[in-house]
Structure formats: C-alpha cells, structure tokens
Amino acid sequence: MNPAARVRRWGWLLAFAAAQACAGCGAITLARGTPGIDVSEIQPGVTRAQAEAVLDKPQKDWMSREGVHYFTYEYDTGRPADIPDAAAFVFMDLVTAGLWEVMVATQGRDVFKKSLPPSTSARVVISYDDGDVVRGIFGEFDTLPADGLSGAYSWRK
C-alpha cells in the first residue's frame, strides 16, 4: 500500500474515532435539559450587590408612592428536557455514524446552541431598603405590599 493511501486511511479512521467519541453529546444535552442559574441564596437580608452578582443588572426600577424602591430582574431558569429533539439527534448520529455531530462541533458552539431549544426565563421583583439590603422578593405579577416586606421566597423552577 502506498504511503498516501495509508495516511488517508488513518485520517478516515481518526475522523471516525472522533465521531464515535462525540456521538450522543447533543442527544444527552437535549434529553437532560440544562439547569438555570442558582438563585436559592437570594432571600430577604441579602445585599443588593450579592443579589445582582447572581441576577445581573435589573431590567427596570421604580419608586412606590410609599417610597419603597422596587427592581425587576429577569433570570435564566434553564432549558427543559426535549425528548423529540434528542431522538432526532440520535437518528442523525445513527444515519451518519456520528459524523453529523463532528460536523456540528467543527462549525463552533453557536451552531449547537442554535439547535437547542431556547432557555426559559422568569422575572422577579425585589425591594431594597436604604442600605441596599433586600426587604422583599415577589413574583412578577404578585401584588406588592406598601411596606415592600416579604418573608422567605420560594424560588420555583
């Protein structure tokens, strides 16, 4: 066998081995879903700096007639599991012997991210006192109390 043919054969074997190593990654990610950010530590008594380190900057803020400063935040709650799309990934892996995921991977992570369902998000309203300490946490459509106080907040996923 000539050296060029041997190199070509090793190249194909290497590509096939890489395909087998990658096969299933996208399917597993889709089947499991992805977690959102961990917001469980944000409760009344936490500072605004600590809350915004997790939630990022607020989308909007306003002052109530009673002088309570409220902020609305939007946060990532993750991606739900998507079994039909995971099955489609498995089918493509079987049809292409895993080469499909290698091609997706070589195109960059943006292509893979675009094939995932969008992240879900939720909004929350937080009130702060004059010292920038959380007074209360409320759901987006909750009735806001005049004093801006709440008890512990149950973060739903």
Q: Give the domain ranges of the chain.
A: 3-139
pTM greater than 0.75 (yes/no): no
Say how many Å lie between the first and final Cα of the chain, rounded: 60
Contact 106, 112 (CB under 8 A): no
CA atoms within 13 A on the CB side of 99: 8
pLDDT, averaged per 10 consecutive residues of the chain (157 residues), comes to 74 64 67 84 93 93 90 89 80 73 63 61 91 92 90 78
Beta strand pairing status for 69-79 and 60-63?
antiparallel
What one-character-per-residue DSSP string does 47-81 give? BHHHHHHHH-S-SEEEE-TTS-EEEEEEEEEEE--
d(CA 77, CA 119): 7
